Amino acid sequence: MLADLLAHDGVVETCELRSQFGFLALHGGSLERGTAEVARRAATAAGASLYTVEQPEDLQWHVPSHLCDPTAAPNLRGFLEHVDVVISIHGYGREGYWTRLLLGGANRDLAARTAGCLRDALDGFEVVDDIDVIPRELRGLHAANPVNLSRGGGVQVELPPRVRGFGPRGEPEYVDALVAGLVAVTQ
């Protein structure tokens, strides 16, 4: 499915290999707005590696993360072979969760470190890293999910619209603080 999406007109795949720390955004562009931009800004500021898939305005094709097979996407495979750990940036919207950042993924030590950095950086948001509190479908624990396929695994960060700079109360300073918190994780 990922190969089909990547072949679709207007879809942009980006892979930049730098350090062994990686930022990933599989649902960027029109699907989960702001996720690729957050990943790109954090990776650039940290000198980290980056992999993004961005969809054009006329497309919103959700390929579930666990179906993003690296064997079908050579750049994704190369990214995952290059990095030791990954922070995968996702967007979500759910009633009652407008100010909650959810930290899933299999690397629970990195999730705890990420949670601390994001709590220090962001006022007015709740950072949830207790995997049992995160809704099952947002946990990012599937073994085939790319966030879990690097040598050290990773953290799936689910972001509500506001902290991505969207929605009636989305502000650029939230995005700036979020990026600063993500960069702090890499230090």
Mean pLDDT for the stretch of residues 136-155 = 98
Bigger pLDDT: 57 or 166? 57
Domains of the chain: 2-186 (3.40.630.100)
- Cα separation, 98 vs 134, whole angstroms: 14
Four-residue CA torsion sign, 159, 163, 166, 172: negative
Residue 74 identity: P
3-state secondary structure of 168: coil
User: Residue 74: how many CB atoms within 10 A of its CB?
Assistant: 13
Report the chain's mean pLDDT, rounded to a whole number. Answer: 96
Asked if 156 contacts 173 with a C-beta cutoff of 8 angstroms, the reply is no
Name the band, by pLDDT with cuts 50, 70 and 90, for residue 170: low
Can you count the helices (H) and strands (E) in the chain? 5, 7
Please count the other Cβ atoms lying within 10 Å of the Cβ belonging to residue 131.
17
Q: What is the pLDDT of residues 55-112, one digit of tens each?
A: 999 999 999 999 999 999 999 999 999 999 999 999 999 998 999 999 999 999 999 9
Give the residue-averaged pLDDT of 1-19. 97
Among the listed residues 66, 58, 74, the one whose alpha carbon sits nearest the alpha carbon of residue 6: 74
Model confidence pTM above 0.75: yes
